[in-house]
Amino acid sequence: MIRRSLLLPAALLAVFFSACGLDVVEFSVIEEGSIGGAGVNIPGLGNFGSSLDNALSGQGVDPGDVDSMRVLTGSIEMTTHAGLTKDLSFFDILEFNMVADGMQPARLAWAAQPIATGSTRVELDVDSDLELKPYLDAGNMRVEIDATLEKPLPDVVGIKLIFKVRVDVNVI
């Protein structure tokens, strides 16, 4: 008796949400760059909104249909090893902040410190409660890096940054 009473509400909710056209899309936004000397250069982060628009279009989603958007996970990975730099432990601070026109910056993701020696891939902590839709709507959405290095790097290494994004879309 209890089992049937739980199945009916669950079935009604499923029918309701499918009738409303609510859909969830998950995808990854990947940006590549380099770190060398005292600087971090990831060219695509300045156009993060464009990268999201392209990813949404690739999923067949119009950005105007987005109801909610949040980052689920983030990671940074060393893609090339240089002569002396073997891992990512050179970061003292590594944070990524969401910025858009007229919006207050908000911390999106960060690396727990210290990064262990030997780590060539680090899972970032993310603020999964941070709603990104207002940043998308505001325009000029971008991610800014707040990074300090233990010391300037003697060489240049390639890095890849990956954010997995969940988008709730209303497709009525």
CATH number at residue 87: 2.60.120
Using the predicted structure, report yes or no on whether residue 121 has a pLDDT greater than 70.
yes
Beta carbons within 10 angstroms of residue 30's beta carbon: 14
Q: What pLDDT sits at residue 82? A: 67
Q: Does residue 4 sit within a domain?
A: no
Q: Does residue 2 sit within a domain?
A: no
Q: What pLDDT sits at residue 22? A: 58
pLDDT (tens digit per residue) in 22-53: 599 999 999 998 888 777 888 777 778 888 88
Q: Does residue 139 sit within a domain?
A: yes
81, 74 Cβ separation under 8 angstroms: no
Q: What pLDDT sits at residue 167? A: 95
| Domain ranges, residue 71 | 23-170
Using the predicted structure, report yes or no on whether residue 166 has a pLDDT greater than 70.
yes
Q: Does residue 119 sit within a domain?
A: yes
Average pLDDT over residues 73-79: 96
Burial annotation 124-143 (CB, 10 A radius, 16+ → b, else e): bebeeebebeebbeeeebbb
Query: Collapsing DSSP states into helix, strand and coil, what is residue 135?
Result: helix
Q: What pLDDT sits at residue 12? A: 34
Q: Does residue 52 sit within a domain?
A: yes
CA distance 157 to 77: 10
Using the predicted structure, report yes or no on whether residue 122 has a pLDDT greater than 90.
yes
Using the predicted structure, report yes or no on whether residue 129 has a pLDDT greater than 70.
yes
Using the predicted structure, report yes or no on whether residue 104 has a pLDDT greater than 60.
yes
CA distance 82 to 76: 17
Say which DSSP state 102 is in.
T
Q: How many domains does the chain have?
A: 1
Mean pLDDT of the chain: 84
Q: What pLDDT sits at residue 16? A: 38
Q: Does residue 14 sit within a domain?
A: no
Q: What pLDDT sits at residue 113? A: 86
Q: What pLDDT sits at residue 39? A: 75
Work out the pLDDT band at 55, boundaries 50, 70, 90. Answer: confident
Q: Does residue 151 sit within a domain?
A: yes
